[in-house]
Amino acid sequence: MEEIRRAVFLDRDGVINEIIYHQDIGVIDSPFTPEQFHLMDGAAWAIQEINRIGLLAIVVTNQPGIAKGHLSKRVLDLITEKMIKELALGGACLDDIYMCLHHPKGSGNGSGDQRYVMDCSCRKPKPGLLIEAAKKHQINLAASYMIGDSITDIQAGASVGCTTFLIGHPKCDLCRIMEKSGVRPDFIVPSLLEAVKVIKYQENLKNSFQGSSSEQLCLSEIFIDDNFYAHENPLSIERKFC
């Protein structure tokens, strides 16, 4: 089947919604209840922009909380409903949502839902979720984008040829670990919004090469932070790593 469409694949936690500190168990993790689910600043606006430029906005997320006993499938569904509703209120639409519910070890003490305790081919860093989405929506993965805040997001996206964006600080510990592992995102940006600005810029370049007269992006809108995109020539976005 012809791969005619392109997508922005979005990790969920730390990209669309805030990560939660669970004081009772002393861990930083996904929200375990709908009340703990809060959109990141600018997330709806960024996804609305993805919608507007004609790319598919598709969530690809590892959610092992059921396998680990943190929440039920029912509660996860409620969290998903809240995400869709809050994004819709902000004018944003997700084209699809793919979740890996598996975990190779589960909670470790049998308290999780054992049906999801397994090795699978969809848990990132494996690209199973992206491949499944590509089949359904006829997506050209090599011409698509992956935005995430973990090494595993970058690995999943890079393994199928997506342009990858790490949301993080250029001096972050994660970046040092990535460099040691030989994993390199194409871009490091401080937020989903900034990632989408770069995508808009790249799409605009593609369009202008094809001779269409698409809207001109204001460059000052894109080159927000000299640490990330410091260069004289706006036509050559530097792929920078810390």
> CB of residue 66 vs Zn ion: minimum separation in angstroms?
11
**CB-wise, 107 or 207, nearer to Zn ion?**
107
**CB-wise, 43 or 66, nearer to Zn ion?**
66
**CB-wise, 3 or 96, nearer to Mg ion?**
96
Token digits for 65?
Answer: 């909380």
Site string for Mg ion, 10-29 (x = CB under 5 A): -x-xx---------------
Token digits for 85?
Answer: 């509703």
Residue 123 binds what, of Mg ion, Zn ion, none (CB under 5 to 8 Å, by partner type)? Answer: Zn ion
- Grouping H, G, I as helix, E, B as strand and the rest as coil, residue 45 is helix
31 near Mg ion, judged by CB under 5 A: no
The residue nearest Mg ion at its CB is 14
Please confirm, yes or no, whether 11 is among the known catalytic residues.
Answer: yes
Please confirm, yes or no, whether 13 is among the known catalytic residues.
Answer: yes
> CB of residue 85 vs Zn ion: minimum separation in angstroms?
26
146 near Mg ion, judged by CB under 5 A: no
127 near Mg ion, judged by CB under 5 A: no
**Contacting residues toward Zn ion, per CB under 5 A:** 100, 102, 120, 122-123
Q: Residues 183-189: contacts with CB within 8 Å, 24+ apart?
A: 183/151, 183/154, 183/155, 183/158, 184/154, 184/158, 184/241, 185/154, 185/158, 185/241, 186/239, 187/163, 187/228, 187/237, 187/239, 187/240, 188/228, 188/240, 188/241, 188/242, 189/165, 189/228
Q: Exactly one of 49, 149, 186, 194 binds Mg ion (CB under 5 A); which one?
A: 149
**CB-wise, 149 or 186, nearer to Mg ion?**
149
Residue 120 binds what, of Mg ion, Zn ion, none (CB under 5 to 8 Å, by partner type)? Answer: Zn ion
Half-sphere exposure of 108 (CA within 13 A, CB side): 0
Indicate the angle between helix axes 192-209 and 43-52, nearest 10 degrees.
Answer: 20
Half-sphere exposure of 161 (CA within 13 A, CB side): 9
Full DSSP string of 179-199: HHHT---SEEESSHHHHHHHH
Inter-residue contact 20 to 79 (CB < 8 Å): no
> CB of residue 128 vs Zn ion: minimum separation in angstroms?
7
Residue 149 binds what, of Zn ion, Mg ion, none (CB under 5 to 8 Å, by partner type)? Answer: Mg ion
Helix (H) or strand (E) holding 203: helix 192-209
> CB of residue 190 vs Mg ion: minimum separation in angstroms?
15
194 near Mg ion, judged by CB under 5 A: no
Residues labelled as active-site residues: 11, 13
